[in-house]
Amino acid sequence: QSALTQPRSVSGSPGQSVTISCTGTSSDVGGYNYVSWYQQHPGKAPKLIIYDVSKRPSGVPDRFSGSKSGNTASLTISGLQAEDEADYYCCSYAGSFTSVFGGGTKLTVL
């Protein structure tokens, strides 16, 4: 179970859109539609923002969207706001009742 690959950092200006990628293998991301995304502000617990590749929990703004192509999942944040500045983690089912997380991406709102 190797960690999923995410860019270490991305940045964007308020109002812009950014996309964070999450690359795995056919044994995890590519094999199942069980990719989830979490937002983590400093000193806080992660918060679920996307599940099942593209579904949003109640209360999560529709500025957050998810998709997947092959072994790579993506999180897009449109209309960037200052409060979106945080760390973002992807997670995937990896078979045999196990999960694997990505290494995390730091989003900076310029």
Partner 1 sequence: QLQLQESGPGLVKPSETLSLTCTVSGGSISGTNYYWGWIRQPPGKGLEWIGSIYYSGSTYYSSSLKSRVTISVDTSKNQFSLKLSSVTAADTAVYYCARRAGWDWYFDLWGRGTLVTVSS
> Residue numbers of the site for partner 1 (CB under 8 A)?
1, 3, 32, 34, 36, 38, 45-48, 51-52, 57, 89, 91-93, 96-104
User: Exposed (0-12), middle (13-18) or buried (19+): which is 97, by Cβ within 10 Å?
Assistant: exposed
Q: Smallest distance from the beta carbon of 99 to partner 1, in angstroms?
A: 4
Coil vs helix vs strand at 40 = strand
Q: Which is nearer to partner 1, 17 or 98 (CB)?
A: 98
Which two structure tokens, joined as six digits, stand for 12?
A: 């964007």
Q: Which is nearer to partner 1, 51 or 64 (CB)?
A: 51
Q: Smallest distance from the beta carbon of 14 to partner 1, in angstroms?
A: 26
Helix (H) or strand (E) holding 107: strand 105-109
Which two structure tokens, joined as six digits, stand for 96?
A: 């045999």
Q: Which is nearer to partner 1, 23 or 36 (CB)?
A: 36
Q: Smallest distance from the beta carbon of 89 to partner 1, in angstroms?
A: 5
80: how many CB neighbours lie within 10 A of its CB? Answer: 20
